[in-house]
Amino acid sequence: MLNYILCFVLFLVGLYGVLTRKNIIKIIIGLCIMEYSLNLFFIMIGYIKGGVAPIVDLSSSQNVKYVDPLPQAIVLTAIVIGLATTALLLAIAIKLYKKYKTFDIDKINNLKG
């Protein structure tokens, strides 16, 4: 039970980073931390006590317990999605620096109202 609560604490740490930091790169890092904590949470759901990795080995004995393979496939896809999101955020951050000459989000507020 403790490990699930620690995952949630990591999620809140990332959320704190997104909400309170003023530098654009720190906001992106906060978002990445939130993604990592969710991938970790998903993997821990599939764990069964005393299970082995879910790869069929024909030379072993019968009645061997495997951990749940479905969260592992889901997390693989979620990591790829996180990669695409981060890459796009960084590209937009680079172009923002070229236009506004600063990374400070207080100074980047051209759109109001």
Partner 1 sequence: MDSLIPLFVIIPLGIAFLIPLIWKLIPSVFKYLPATGILFLLVLAFYILIANGNETLIYKVGGWEPVKNVPIGIHLVVDGLAASMLIIINLIGFLAGIYAIPYMKKFTGENYFFVLFSLMVAGMNGVVITGDLFNMFVFLEISVISSYALVAFGSSKDELEASFKYQVLGGIASLLILFALAITYWYTSTLNMSDISHLLKQAPVNKVTIFIQLFLIAGFGLKAALIPFHAWLPDAHSSAPSPISAMLSGVLIKAIGIYALLRLFFNMFRVTYEISIIITLIGVLSMVIGVILAIGQWDMKRLFAYHSISQMGYVIMAAGIAMIILAKGGNRNIAILSLTGGLFHMFNHSVFKGLLFLNAGSVEYATGTRNLKDLGGLSEVLPVTSATSLGASLSISGIPPFNGFFSKLIIIIAAIEGRFYFLALLAVIVSIITLASFMKVQRYAFLDKLKKGGSNIKEVPFLMCFSMIILVILCLVMSLMAIPGIRETFLMPAVNSLISLKM
Partner 2 sequence: MKGMTSIVKKVSALISGLVFLYGCYIIFHGHLTPGGGFAGGTIIAGSFILLIIANGIQYFRLKKEKEESSLAEGAGILFFLLFAAGGLLLTAHVFFRNFLPYGTPGNLLSAGVIPLYNIFVGIEVAAGLLSIFLAFVIYKKED
**Would you tell me which residues interact with partner 2 (CB under 8 A)?**
53, 55-56, 58, 76, 80, 87, 90-91, 94
Q: Could you say which of partner 2, partner 1, none residue 61 binds, taking C-beta under 5 to 8 angstroms by partner kind? A: none
- 36-to-8, 17, 61 alpha-carbon distances in Å: 11, 14, 36
Smallest distance, Å, CB 56 to partner 1?
17
Q: Could you say which of partner 1, partner 2, none residue 85 binds, taking C-beta under 5 to 8 angstroms by partner kind? A: partner 1
User: Which pairs with CB-CB distance under 8 Å and at least 24 residues apart come from 48-57?
Assistant: none
Smallest distance, Å, CB 59 to partner 1?
26
Among 38, 54, 72, 103, binds partner 1 (CB under 8 A): 38
Q: What single-letter amino acid sits at 111?
A: L
Q: Of 14, 16, 44, 45, nearest to 32 (Cα)? A: 14
Q: Which is nearer to partner 1, 9 or 81 (CB)?
A: 81
- In three-state secondary structure terms, 58 is coil
